[in-house]
């Protein structure tokens, strides 16, 4: 029988919305789970584990099995992820573990679903100031792809969105999600994307 580590948790008030429940974590944090999953998940004491790379808390528990201590992530457990699969939070809130917010992903897909980096100065994802103009760029499967330089950062942001929709699909984080930037073909950008993908 694996040893289960118990930790102190605070009391929570459950929401009026019957579709989800709250589970208290350590460090004063809470996680949302689908109501049907609550009885199963609540048998364990879950921890808020700070991930400095993602700058956010993840929900985990610890088990000691055959003398070794293992960290088990709630999102992975809910989805039943295999060794090569990751759990992606659609809304990028790692404390929202409702089933409708979770999906299985590859490492590349999970990396695609990230917001604007803290050192971004343009205010748009995939856009930076470079040599007097705004450069659009995207990273796909670890490969940096230059999408060109533009007079306005808004134009560069639209070009990034165009490439993100094509390369990242449903995992794309867009600057203008209400605009379907692929409606208009951009042959020069398609060429740059193909050139970049060929290096993978």
Q: Strand ranges (DSSP E) for 66-187?
A: 68-73, 86-89, 96-97, 102-105, 127-130, 133-140, 143-150
For residues 124 and 131, the answer to whether their CB atoms sit within 8 Å is: no
Query: Which pTM value belongs to this model?
Result: 0.82
Quick one: tokens of 68? 């070794």
- % of the chain with per-residue pLDDT over 90: 75
**pLDDT tens per residue, range 54-78:** 889 999 999 998 889 999 999 999 9
For residues 64 and 3, the answer to whether their CB atoms sit within 8 Å is: yes
Quick one: tokens of 49? 């584990």
**If you classify domain 116-197 with CATH, what class do you get?**
alpha beta
Q: How far apart are CA 94 and CA 103, in angstroms?
A: 12
**pLDDT tens per residue, range 125-168:** 999 999 999 999 999 998 999 999 999 999 999 999 999 999 99
Work out the number of other CB atoms within 10 angstroms of the CB of residue 154. 16
| Diameter of the chain measured on Cα atoms | 64
Q: How far apart are CA 194 and CA 51, in angstroms?
A: 34
Q: Please, where in the chain does CATH 3.30.730.10 lie?
A: 116-197
**Predicted local confidence at residue 120, as pLDDT:** 92
Quick one: tokens of 85? 């699969």
Quick one: tokens of 149? 């330089």
């Amino acid at each position: 029988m694996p040893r289960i580590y118990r930790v102190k948790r605070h009391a929570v008030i459950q929401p009026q919305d019957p579709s989800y429940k709250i589970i208290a974590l350590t460090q004063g944090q809470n996680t949302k789970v689908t109501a049907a999953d609550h009885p199963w998940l609540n048998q364990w004491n879950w921890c808020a584990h700070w991930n400095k790379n993602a700058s956010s808390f993840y929900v985990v528990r610890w088990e000691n099995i055959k003398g070794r201590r293992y960290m088990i992530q709630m999102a992975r457990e809910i989805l039943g992820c295999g060794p090569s699969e990751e759990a992606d939070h659609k809304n990028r809130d790692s404390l929202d573990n409702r089933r409708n917010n979770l999906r299985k992903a590859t490492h590349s897909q999970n990396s695609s679903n990230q917001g604007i980096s803290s050192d971004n100065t343009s205010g748009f994802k995939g856009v930076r100031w470079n040599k007097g103009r705004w450069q659009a760029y995207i990273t796909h499967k670890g490969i940096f792809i230059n999408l060109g330089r533009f007079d306005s950062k808004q134009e560069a942001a639209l070009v990034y969105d165009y490439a993100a929709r094509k390369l990242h699909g449903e995992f794309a984080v867009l600057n203008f999600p209400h605009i379907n930037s692929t409606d208009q073909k951009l042959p020069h950008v398609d060429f740059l994307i193909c050139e970049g993908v060929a290096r993978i």
